[in-house]
Structure 1
Amino acid sequence: MSRLQVAVIDYGMGNLRSVANAFKAVAPDIAIAVTSDPAVIADAERVVFPGQGAMPDCIRELDARNLRQAVMAATSTKPFLGICIGLQMLFEHSEEGDVSGLGVYPGEVKRFPVDRMIDAQGGKMKVPHMGWSQVHQTHAHEMWAGIPDQSRFYYVHSYYVAPTEGALTAATTAYPFDYTCAIARDNVFAVQFHPEKSAEAGLQLLRNFVNWKP
């Protein structure tokens, strides 16, 4: 049997099937599996950690399913794509539930501050940030291939990442202030938005991941 090419991690949360189906749409000939088996994840060529939900639940389920070590190994050994909570969990600490993340990168996960959620006209902006927003690419990266700067992607979140190291940031979004919506380092690329819900720009990102050779 040929090696599994994309493992989508199943930790009991998130819209896993829609992510897997989006990959099948852009790369119908590759082997994709939604799995909670650490051995399968370890053997896969590429790993995707998608998700929705709260950070405390995410970390709890990772440990309950014995997935922490497999995820940590994937972030250092193979192409890794984090989506939404799959971005947030990579950092040291989250204000959501006051919990520790995986600590792959230094930084905090912060809640949108009520006193700053004011638009240019003085109106209140809603939390969660839900809907389409432009993404400003802060530096060139293979994962942005074929995706014009300021393309719009779909978001659903109340928390955002604040990396300690500015060089980690691969893109920002304004809501209403600029915050990091994508990070990149070595074999890891992770985004706050949902590419599987982001029309052609999102599908192109997934297509790029399948072909990415960091």
Structure 2
Amino acid sequence: MIRVLVADDQAMVRGALATVLGLEPDIEVVAQAGDGAGALDLARRTRPDVALLDVRMPGGDGIEVCAELTRSLPGCRVLMCTTFGRPGYLTRALRAGAGGFVVKDASPEDLVDAVRRVHRGLRVVDPDLAVASLTHGTSPLTPREREVLTAVLGGGDDVAALARSLRMSQGTLRNHLSSAIGKTGTRTRAEAARVAEEHGWL
């Protein structure tokens, strides 16, 4: 039996994924989690063979959870499954140790096949996403630029408030914003944050 943990912050999606997998004779869903912290806790307790993780979750996103599982539970393979089929997410997930990356509009048969293949140690990547990743390349942003744009995306509009929340001077903040705007080919910090988010760089 392939023991699977399913983690997704949307209860209906999580239940549907668990149901699809649970219908297979060689797959057993041993745990379900609604956030990153819960996924890590349940993974440590249940020792699944495969963790099926959503990218965007509260309490630690799926990529952070993937990196931690790769470090602390090397016997657990990770398959990312997300609505957000963005090239940057794919690159970050693979770097974190994910064995596969599928999108939620994949067919149930493709999802089941991906779980089995990842369990066998094979790499599984949605083909459209793989092509998009090659087209867009890797993120040009530094970690600090990502942090600044994430704060902007979260509704940060006032430079002084942003600088205080990020514990940097307003001048340093403006330098990071200017660099990020240049790298994303945009004109404003809001546009830079949106483009970076769409590419999965945040």
Task: Specify the structure having the higher radius of gyration (Cα).
Answer: 2
Higher relative contact order (Cα pairs below 8 Å, separated by 6+ residues): 1
Which bracket does the TM-score occupy, shorter chain normalised? 0.3 to 0.5
**Which one has the bigger helix percentage?**
2
